Amino acid sequence: MIEQPSRTLVCSIVFLDIVEYSTKPVAEQLLLKQAFNKLLSSALENVAPRDRVVLDTGDGAGVTFLGDPEDALFVAMSLRAAARAEATGAIAIRIGINLGPVRLVKDINAQMNIIGDGINVAQRVMTFAQSGQLLVSRSFYEVVSCLSLDYASLFSYVGARTDKHVREHEVYSVGIGTASSTARAQRSVPAPVRRNCAGA
């Protein structure tokens, strides 16, 4: 899909950063970013390159998933778990996910880039997260929670948050623990029962 720039799509976007990265000495920033990039690459192994666009943001990354929204959820959960278990010491990250419109464009270096409200909101949702927390927007929650009865139990409503542009966002947190394995197992076995989200 990414071979066709200047298209507007509705995608899932994972935005994440290393907490307090800018306050660290340059040498420590380098080590943190190398460890972060390694974790992100590992988390993305099962998502085909053509189904994602990864943007380096300096202190983190923005990943746009052009296909299944479940990919965004599993990558984010996997990355959060891996960061907590990092052998060299936990990497403090915060993560936000949104489902919204983006546009595929070529940047000044002729590389694929993503712009649009979808990625902007993903970044805003991330800023509401605390260290180690994974938050999702209402739009992402409404789509993914409808895919299976099991998925609905992954999310907890946090409340409405207002960003620096005085725009309000309703956010949900994604639980830690058995929720990850439940979601992963559900992915491989189509759910016989799906939620009726009409009118939700």
Q: How do residues 28-64 score in pLDDT, each as one tens digit?
A: 999 999 999 999 999 999 999 999 999 999 999 999 9
- As a whole number, mean pLDDT of residues 127-142 equals 95
- Alpha carbon of residue 21 to chain centroid: 19
pLDDT single digits (tens) 84-126: 886 556 689 999 999 999 998 888 888 878 899 999 999 999 9
Angstrom distance (rounded) from CA 190 to CA 120: 32
Q: Is the pLDDT of residue 187 over 70?
A: no
Query: N- to C-terminal Cα distance for the chain?
Result: 30
Beta strands in 48-142 (DSSP E): 52-56, 60-65, 93-106, 112-115, 134-137
Which residues have a Cβ under 8 Å from the Cβ of 83 and sit 6 or more positions away? 36, 39, 90, 91, 92, 93, 132
What pTM did the predictor assign?
Answer: 0.84
The pLDDT score that the predictor gives to residue 149 is 79
Give me the amino acid identity at 175.
G
Angstrom distance (rounded) from CA 121 to CA 163: 9
The pLDDT score that the predictor gives to residue 87 is 54
- Please report how many Cα atoms fall inside a 13 Å half-sphere around the Cα of residue 198, on the Cβ side: 1
Of all residues in the chain, the percent with pLDDT exceeding 70 is 82
**Under DSSP, is residue 175 helix (H, G, I), strand (E, B) or coil?**
coil
The pLDDT score that the predictor gives to residue 191 is 40
CATH of range 8-187; options 3.30.70.1230, 3.30.457.10, 1.10.260.40, 3.20.20.140? 3.30.70.1230
